Amino acid sequence: MSSQPKKYSRRNFLKATAVGAGLAAFGGVISACQPIGVPTTAPAAPSAAPPADEQVTISYWKSAHSLHEEERMGKVIADFEALNPNIKIDHNITAWDTWDETYSAAFAGGSPPDVSYMPDQFYFKYGEAGQLADLGPYVDDPSYESERNAWFKGAWDLGNWRGTQVGIPNIATMYFVYANKTAFEEVGLDISQPPTSYDELAEFASAMTKPDGEQWGYVFSLSFVNQGIFANMAYFHDNGADFLNETFDGPGFNNEGGVRALAFLTSLVCEHQVTPPMGSFDRAGQLDLFRGGKAAMLMEEVSQHGDFKTQDLGFEYDIFLQPPGSEGQSSFGNFGYFMIAEASEHKDQAWEFIKYITSGPVLGDWAEQHGFVMMRGDVELYKDEPIYAKAQKEVAPYIQGFQAHPAIREIQSAMWGEFEGALSCQRSPEESIESAAEAVQRVLA
């Protein structure tokens, strides 16, 4: 990286985060975490509390992070059960595309799973409704102190809902720029020295853009229908803007920093013309541009490396964060969390399961298998994978994402729908910011 990312205080991070999909990591945000064709099973209701001397069955719901979810999670569960013969895990693989309906019905009907895996932006409404158990008695126990201290502070803090720790982090996803080394060298640029300012990024992209779509300099998502658009929020964060303001009662992007961020992104489309116009390619098409050597730089999520490295792209590539803004440098991403239902009759046993699957060795192995990063710094990952290792060490500690608001998903849609006016070159950035602010106010009303 060309410069050290700015570190954030607890206060600033909580204002800026509601990270780490995705991507639905998760759910509807991060599509790489929603593999097509993953078999799912109908969730079963939690078991009734058995007598103390009998085996306890814990219901555990989690949507798939890969086509190998049943096999990989099955091994984790089998290992846990071998160590804890009095606890049985009933694992149900729930579908991402019906996530809201499935979990909402279960919690509303009083039969939620004992343990749930929830992406950050999904869990907020359950926290607000008081349907998630207070994990304080467990995480504050002296025996858990070393584990608690191992978590990156931002990820840990985001699992705290209004003063109550309700979630334990799992894995995370994040976005950064993939850079084609050959494209850089063709115009005399060194991929090991990425752009250090917005002006330089535009200059680099312009230098590597070729006529008639033969090669685009910087490819990124423009439309809300393309879930990769959330990567662009890093530009807002880095300039002191966010989804909401500090008191969560109004937009947080209708300020100088928000205008600066949207104006720069708009300039890449409308002025410099270094990226395909809105509607030219969906997310899969953008990935194909990079694979085919027609995108010199691509803003995408970390897990795409898992696919890129298995293909013969015909060129080497590296990664880096977008240049810093006026307030810092960050990566947009989001986290997944493990929760215990307040209605669970087996909270102690559920905690033992969560404690096991989020421990360093177990979670580290899980992250490496899926190509994600983990939000704790005591496990060295990807010793033989330099791209993943770089992402884990240099990018993961600086993820920022969704703010913890029950209506954050509606807020996202409202604001970005208006931003599209500028990104499609139909309105000025200032006009789009103003319209987006009004749209968010209507959501909050």
Tokens of 231: 């990567």
pLDDT in tens, 342-374: 999 999 999 999 999 999 999 988 888 877 777
Instruction: Give me the architecture of the 10-173+332-400 domain, per CATH.
Output: 3-Layer(aba) Sandwich (3.40)
DSSP string, 159-223: TEETTEE-EEEEEEEEEEEEEEHHHHHHTT--TTS---SHHHHHHHHHHT-BGGGTBBS-B---S
Which DSSP category does 46 fall into? Answer: P
Strands (E), 245-330: 251-252, 297-301, 317-320
pLDDT at 205 (0 to 100): 98
pLDDT digits (tens, 9 = 90+) for 330-346: 999 888 999 999 999 99
What's the pLDDT at 413? 87
With a pLDDT cut of 90, the percent of the chain lying above it is 62
The CATH code of the domain at 175-330+406-444 is 3.40.190.10
**The dihedral sign for the CA sequence 404, 409, 414, 417:** positive
Task: Please tell me the predicted confidence (pLDDT) of residue 369.
Answer: 80
Tokens of 156: 């840990």
Q: Report how far apart the first and last C-alpha atoms of the chain are (Å, whole number).
A: 42
What is the predicted pLDDT for the residue at 85? 95
**Residue ranges matching CATH 3.40.190.10 in the chain:** 10-173+332-400, 175-330+406-444
pLDDT at 53: 60
Residues 6 or more apart whose CB falls under 8 angstroms from that of 86 comprise: 55, 56, 349
Confidence of residue 17 (pLDDT cuts 50, 70, 90): very low
More confident residue, 8 or 163: 163
Strands 160-161, 164-165: pairing kind = antiparallel
Total-model pTM: 0.72
Burial of 194 (0-12, 13-18, 19+ CB in 10 A): buried
Assign residue 212 a region: left if phi > 0, alpha if psi is -120 to 50, beta otherwise?
A: left
Q: Please provide the size of the chain in residues.
A: 445
Distances (CA, A) of 332 to 18, 32, 96, 343: 10, 15, 21, 33
- β-strand partners of 251: 244
The mean pLDDT value for 163-185 works out to 94
Is the distance from CB of 381 to CB of 389 less than 8 angstroms?
yes
- The highest-confidence range among 4-18, 148-162, 220-234, 387-401, by mean pLDDT, is 148-162
Q: 25 or 60: whose pLDDT is higher? A: 60
pLDDT of residue 127: 92
At 226 the pLDDT is 62
DSSP 182: H
Mean pLDDT confidence for 144-156: 92
